[in-house]
Structure 1
């Protein structure tokens, strides 16, 4: 089972990867939204903001008002970030839940 520290590091790794590709992504995706990532099996959460193709202001704790909310287990979060779990299949199988408006979901899909 993944730990809170491993989940935090996975999100930092994702942020670094998005940062490295931000110039390419920014031209295709106009998305500036708050984001909450809830880790269900660890009863913890992280939040930040997607802006300009980057994941910024990442910190511990939930944001109940986040425009995009992702809920999953720690192991599935690690698998998603490592590329071992396809986000579309994970959502279809209910291993991952993403709550956002439909237009944001389409933009988010391009980002991931």
Structure 2
């Protein structure tokens, strides 16, 4: 499965869960925007970026940047609060969705550390 297909599955799972919770979900036309979905909670519209997580050393890791290719070169760009309101991360391994604050950690720990560290 290619990365586009993996991403589509994550977006589909996120949409399903949002609909189950009663949110209205809109999909913007085209794929050149910094967000994947618009979510309406009845009061406000939220621009949502969807990401896929993978398990790495007892953590869920995900790309917190957009990655594109231009003229054969990979270009990555971080998201900021002027572009998106919410980042939702889907883990196919755990079948869970996490809301991650914009500009924060790239790893979500779900297993205890080997050295017992509890902070940072």
State the TM-score, normalized to the length of structure 1: 0.35
Normalized per residue, the structure richer in helix is 1
For the pair shown, the structure with the greater C-alpha radius of gyration is 2
**Higher RCO structure, 1 or 2 (CA under 8 Å, sep 6+):** 1
Normalized per residue, the structure richer in strand is 2
